[in-house]
Amino acid sequence: MKLGIIGLPHCGKTTLFSTLTHDYSPTVQIVVDGSTQIDTAVVNVPDQRIDWLSTHYHPKKTSYAKITFQDISGITSSQESFPRSLLTILSQVDGFIHVVRNFDDPNIPHPMQRIDAKGDINTLLNEFALNDMLTVEQRLENLSNEWDKGGGRSRTEIEYEQKLFEQLHDALETSYGIDTIHLNKQQQKLVSGFGFLTSKPMLIVLNSDDKSEKTKSLIADSRHEKLKSNIISLMGKLEMEITQLEENDASFFMKEYGLLESGLDKVIESSYKMMDLKSFFTVGKNEVRAWTITNNTSAPQAAGIIHSDMHSGFIRAEVMSFADLSKLGSESLVKAAGKWRLEGKEYIVQDGDILNVRFSPPRRN
């Protein structure tokens, strides 16, 4: 999973990125066309279940689920449309972390000379909608030309796609964007290559200080209904300072500021949740590992994430839940309690499942 960290100038997105990735180096830096800079790093998804499993099994290696973060520069408050290089980068991420300035500092001027979280969010949403609109209008023009020329696809196919893109056009005119429309599988396939920005999930991070209002009412707006469940607040500068301290000192400062958990962990965990992702686990003496899946992932599909041979040769999966294992204390007690199961190809893997896949390795010629 790859998430782009975005925001208007001086919002603190680079501070957030640096803090999120301070333990992960080297960071890959790319400059595209001299106008857009990307810093990239892969970080672990904190998971107390993995911590417990690692303590329980004492493996040689412990592997957490991963998220790739990109700090994407180049977005300003005065663009009519994004440069092609920036649009390409934005279209290739799976979702966005939108850092919104929610602090006042006379030494760091806001590009629009005011502190207005809702206004900043609307500015960027409007930019996204505008760029998607340009893409939709270009596609409708191409479809019209295709209709006039004939000789290619059938008129029925062209007309179906035209109606779909007219629907997208209406959504961009009347609401936040394309994610407000329910698309069937055929429609999803038709739009998948366009990388529409308003179709991607977005986590709002209010970058605050100890004097800021941090409630969701800051952005109460009918356009933000889908965003209201994806809003968190943290003090970016403080979080960065805490990551540079020794563990005991960091704990002291967190208590001083009433922080029950690291804001960075909250960002990572919220990102994982926003993308509607789950984790299942494999365990053993060699490795305890978390694997990332989406909703409705079947046992053979989950097995294929571990290794393609496990998907093609899948027989069944031995399954127990982390909750049962941690409660009962051992695999033998899980089995004795009747909580150890054999599941077939139709089984949908649940968050926290521990899988041992039985499969028949394919023959090699």
Report pLDDT for 119.
86
**CA angle at 296 for the pair 334 and 289, rounded to the nearest 5°:** 50
Report pLDDT for 355.
97
Report pLDDT for 242.
84
Question: What sign results for the dihedral spanned by CA atoms 203, 240, 234, 53?
Answer: positive
pLDDT bucket at 85, cuts 50 / 70 / 90: confident
Q: Specify whether the CB–CB gap between 112 and 78 falls below 8 A.
A: no
Report pLDDT for 215.
58
| pLDDT for residue 158 is more than 80 | yes
Question: Which residues fall within 8 angstroms of residue 172, CB to CB, at 6 or more apart?
Answer: 129, 132, 133, 136, 178, 198
Q: Which residue has the higher pLDDT, 30 or 235?
A: 235
Q: Do domains 1-46+66-275 and 296-359 have the same CATH topology?
A: no
Tell me how far apart the alpha carbons of residues 95 and 198 are, in angstroms, rounded to a whole number: 10
Q: Supply 22's token pair.
A: 């301070």
Which superfamily does 296-359 belong to?
A: Beta-grasp domain (3.10.20.30)
Report pLDDT for 344.
96
Q: Specify whether the CB–CB gap between 178 and 199 falls below 8 A.
A: yes
pLDDT bucket at 32, cuts 50 / 70 / 90: low
pLDDT tens digit string along 255-291? 877 777 777 888 888 898 889 899 999 999 999 999 9
Tell me how far apart the alpha carbons of residues 103 and 122 are, in angstroms, rounded to a whole number: 18
Mean pLDDT of 19-34: 68
Residue 47's closest CA among 306, 265, 263? 265
pLDDT bucket at 351, cuts 50 / 70 / 90: very high
Q: What percent of the chain has pLDDT over 70?
A: 89
Helices 117-149 and 155-174: crossing angle in degrees, nearest 10, is 160
Report pLDDT for 304.
96
Report pLDDT for 73.
82
Mean pLDDT of 215-225: 56
Mean pLDDT of 250-255: 80
pLDDT tens digit string along 221-241? 555 566 667 888 888 888 888
Cβ burial 317-354 (10 Å sphere, 16+ → b, else e): bebbbbebbeebeebeebeeeebbeebeeebebeebbb
Q: Which residue has the higher pLDDT, 84 or 33?
A: 84
Tell me how far apart the alpha carbons of residues 358 and 228 are, in angstroms, rounded to a whole number: 42
| pLDDT for residue 4 is more than 60 | yes
Tell me how far apart the alpha carbons of residues 60 and 200 are, in angstroms, rounded to a whole number: 38
Report pLDDT for 122.
86
Tell me how far apart the alpha carbons of residues 290 and 52 are, in angstroms, rounded to a whole number: 12
| pLDDT for residue 25 is more than 80 | no
Report pLDDT for 117.
86
Q: Which residue has the higher pLDDT, 99 or 242?
A: 99
pLDDT bucket at 31, cuts 50 / 70 / 90: low
Print the SS3 string covering the chain.
CEEEEECCCCCCHHHHHHHHCCCCCCCEEEEECCCEEEEEEEEECCCHHHHHHHHHHCCCEEECCEEEEEEECCCCCCCCCCCHHHHHHHHCCCEEEEEEEECCCCCCCCCCCCCCHHHHHHHHHHHHHHHHHHHHHHHHHHHHHHHHHCCCCCHHHHHHHHHHHHHHHHHHHHCCCHHHCCCCHHHHHHHHHHCCHHHCCEEEEEEECCCCCCCHHHHCCHHHHHHCCCEEEECHHHHHHHHCCCHHHHHHHHHHCCCCCCHHHHHHHHHHHHCCEEEEEECCCCEEEEEEEECCCEHHHHHHHHCHHHHHCEEEEEEEEHHHHHHHCCHHHHHHCCCCEEECCCCECCCCEEEEEEECCCCCC
Report pLDDT for 214.
55
Residue ranges of domains in the chain: 1-46+66-275, 296-359
| pLDDT for residue 219 is more than 60 | no
Q: Supply 127's token pair.
A: 């930019």
Tell me how far apart the alpha carbons of residues 215 and 267 are, in angstroms, rounded to a whole number: 16
pLDDT tens digit string along 294-346? 989 999 999 999 999 999 999 999 999 999 999 999 999 999 999 999 999 99
Which superfamily does 1-46+66-275 belong to?
A: P-loop containing nucleotide triphosphate hydrolases (3.40.50.300)
Q: What is the mean pLDDT of the chain?
A: 87
pLDDT tens digit string along 164-213? 999 999 999 887 788 888 899 999 999 999 999 999 999 999 998 776 66
Mean pLDDT of 129-151: 91
Residue 281's closest CA among 345, 332, 357, 336? 357
Question: Given the DSSP bridges, would you call strands 231-234 and 277-282 parallel, antiparallel or unpaired?
Answer: unpaired
pLDDT tens digit string along 289-305? 999 999 899 999 999 99
Mean pLDDT of 124-134: 91
